[in-house]
Structure 1
């Protein structure tokens, strides 16, 4: 749903009556994951996707009905349904879509504030014709409707795993809104320019660290990193939150900079560390890290040579391969 927030804000400013359709269950080769959403206006305009085009027409038709009736509904689409071919779901998968009038103003206002503040939270909805909504913040505080405390263990697990899902009760859907992932860029170079633009495109917050003022401040970025530190990594990194939502990319080509960053990052909980350089360059890096006292297991956690092998030569191609590798790790893929 994050990808349609700007459209929701625009439609709300225009005063349009809206419905929202959210994928709440999928089976087999369903084309869109749970939590994918489609916003529909009263005149049938839509933004977002619940199936990549397979069932959008039927969902929009249902949404327009629901805008008029004010009653939410869970709609099932699958190849075994009589109308499956009619709506175009021929991939062999199936999905449940919760189509509902747009959230009450108080709920959406709180959601919008939390999204602006980049605070992780969950939205708990009852799957009924008149849904009740609860917002559970990362600190455990709740707003909106009350809910049974017996749901808390499942909610905590969902938030920890980042998984939106129908709870075991069968009549509650929790949608997880994690905070933005962070791409930490060490070293300003041509590849950094391209990678920063891609990172923004995929919803990452970007932080650049480079003690070389000429490189950090004078490089011509089409999309600038949101934060720029013209300092050494060892001066900045201890003050940053280096957690599982952080993806670090080492790009300076200068061991004096790269090694200082790696010394800290290898002892942190970041989700990804990638380092630019050829196999020969990385072999020398490995020897230096061994001399610093790092274990083979720690060193092997570095993605190097960086990026998925697509035969990259140009900075933009290398950046694309790095972005693909970061997304692979973020989505649960291995090294």
Structure 2
């Protein structure tokens, strides 16, 4: 669930609680086959049967609201199974070809819930572990642990699994199975991904706007203050830094995805060297591959040579091959590659693909070892 949806849900929850309304959270905890959304997708249901956010394309919501109203009254959490297959005799028969399990829980002001909601509000890395069958809830945030699961072995397993999941590039919620066969749902929240745009040109504007719509925290850096204005880049952090100031004044984290698009060889050269020397996990260079070669040659003439490990982080030309021409289309191309990179997906057409469409590319590659993928595809 992206950060924009989370903000919408939390704002509605806060407003409802201020009004004295009761509410339940509906969370997808398991998906089998094909479904519209994935594990970790949340929907808020209020005691007046209104809802905020969606778990599907509209096919499940009515059923979920009805079940959630019962949970709001009883206060007893439950996991409800929904069959989405076309041929289901007793199921919903919605034609998606899969099934989903949804956990319904009334929102209560206990310590674990309050910590989890605070982590969601603040965009902090954290996990909430809930057994599919059994009792207890476990909140994990760094070294902090709050709550416990009733089964000590499952508690220890969930704690280790949650921390491992939070350490991945793009942590995703999932139901996992302990060695003893018990299942636990690990919901995760992670800070918003960071996009750094070197260059405040015309084509950087739609990239900034579209990235923010996808939940990115965007920073734009450019020495030209006349271009670097809130009117051109609403919602973005603006850094009017000259190229020679980058090394001392701008530090990039391992969560940063950097795009170099100054349209100026000298500035691009300095920005590329800055990004290579940083911890940024993804470095995209706009323009043809030959231009990237020019930048590396210019750096080499200064005695600056990137290591092979540094160069592995560079994506040039950045973006997926979509035939993009207009700035808005180029932004779609770049963000499409960033999404594929974060989630381990192929970035290829789904046409003809058999099986669950949300399965990660890494899992598909394991099932089909003859398939190869690299950042140059």
Whether TM exceeds 0.5 here: the answer is: yes
**Secondary structure of residue in 2 paired with 1:176:** strand
Q: How far does residue 27 in structure 1 lie from its aligned partner after superposition? A: 1.3
Q: How far does residue 197 in structure 1 lie from its aligned partner after superposition? A: 1.0
Q: How does 1:229-244 map to 2 (within 5 A)?
A: 229-232=239-242, 235-236=245-246, 242-244=252-254
CA distance in 2, matches of 1:176, 1:195: 27
> Structure 1 stretch 186-195 or stretch 143-152: which is displaced more?
143-152
Gap change, CA 1:150 and 1:142, over 3 Å in 2: closer
For residue 263 of structure 1, the aligned residue among 257, 261, 273 is 273
Contact 1:209 1:233 in 2 (8 A): no
- The residue that corresponds to 1:132 in the other structure is 136
- The residue that corresponds to 1:288 in the other structure is 298
CA distance in 1, matches of 2:336, 2:286: 15
Q: Deviations over 1:131-184 (max 9, x none)?
A: 5333211x2112244674522322221222313222324343211101111001
- 1:150 maps onto 2:165 in alignment: no
- The residue that corresponds to 1:69 in the other structure is 74
CA distance in 1, matches of 2:183, 2:313: 41
Q: How far does residue 89 in structure 1 lie from its aligned partner after superposition? A: 3.1
- 1:167 maps onto 2:176 in alignment: yes
Gap change, CA 1:294 and 1:55, over 3 Å in 2: same
Q: Structure 2 unaligned runs (5+)?
A: 346-373
Contact 1:134 1:144 in 2 (8 A): yes
Contact 1:54 1:88 in 2 (8 A): no
- 1:120 maps onto 2:125 in alignment: yes
Gap change, CA 1:89 and 1:304, over 3 Å in 2: same
- 1:181 maps onto 2:193 in alignment: yes
- 1:46 maps onto 2:46 in alignment: no
**Secondary structure of residue in 2 paired with 1:216:** coil
TM normalised by structure 1 equals: 0.87
Contact 2:79 2:104 in 1 (8 A): yes
For residue 223 of structure 1, the aligned residue among 217, 224, 234 is 234
**Secondary structure of residue in 2 paired with 1:215:** coil
Gap change, CA 1:116 and 1:61, over 3 Å in 2: closer
CA distance in 2, matches of 1:29, 1:157: 26
Contact 1:234 1:264 in 2 (8 A): no
User: How many residues end up aligned between the 2 structures?
Assistant: 329
Q: How far does residue 123 in structure 1 lie from its aligned partner after superposition? A: 1.2
- 1:10 maps onto 2:15 in alignment: yes
